[in-house]
Amino acid sequence: MILRLLLALNFFPSIQVTENKILVKQSPMLVVYNNAVNLSCKYTYNLFSKELRASLYKGADSAVEVCVVSGNYSHQLQFHSKPGFNCDGKLDNETVTFYLWNLSVNQTDIYFCKIEVMYPPPYIDNEKSNGTIIHVKENQICQIQGIPTSCKMFWALVVVGGVLALYSFLVTVALCNHWMNKKKNRILQSDYLNMTPRRLGPTRKHYHPYAPARDFAAYRS
């Protein structure tokens, strides 16, 4: 799709500055990663005292109007979004900027700015510009509303993995605590056995050496 849009750009000739035309310049391509983008359209015409209308169109044939602002600089200009789009913007004497948000992938297309002087006469507008391809990338982060099934599965796996990791941690802590208590009891028991009094060995009995009894009667005779 992007290739076809790029080929379409070759069929729009460069804009020539004429007396009754407004020159508009746009960026060739904008890549959107967060569903929001600022599209700036620079023009070479003094619109300060004019009743103007600035609008943004989608598609190679500019069939879909996306956003529009009209009025003059005597009061604050209000941007209006068309169905299916969210738009705001800012306009000064050289640039009109369209701010689009909540873009979806299927809104990838080529967008054209159009500047018109409604009053005073004569009516003046710009030649069709070269346009800007807005390429909306798919958002990898699940949105709160309308969560895809793949994202639901992903978060379910994350929750299950977190529970299993917590369970493994608690079991490891319990086993370590049990092992430490067992080791502590073993050390205390060993210290108790070491403090018990022990006999150094069998008690030796002291025997007096044998001496034969003397016969004192023999000495008398």
Tens digits of residue pLDDT in 119-146: 888 899 998 888 999 999 987 655 545 5
Q: Is 98 buried (19+), middle (13-18) or exposed (0-12) by CB count in 10 A?
A: buried
Q: Please report the DSSP string for 118-153 in residue order.
A: EESSSPEEEPP---EEEEEPPPSSPPSSS--HHHHH
pTM of the predicted model, to two decimals? 0.56
| C-alpha span between 98 and 106 (Å, rounded) | 19
**What φ, ψ does residue 220 adopt, rounded to 5°?**
-75, -35
**What are 21-61's pLDDT values in tens digits?**
889 999 999 999 999 999 999 988 887 778 889 999 999 99
What is the rounded distance in angstroms from the CA atom of residue 55 to the CA atom of residue 93?
Answer: 15
> Quick one: pLDDT at residue 197?
59
Q: Quote the pLDDT of residue 213.
A: 60
- What is the per-residue pLDDT across 148-177, written as a single tens digit (0 to 9) for each? 566 778 888 889 999 999 999 999 988 888
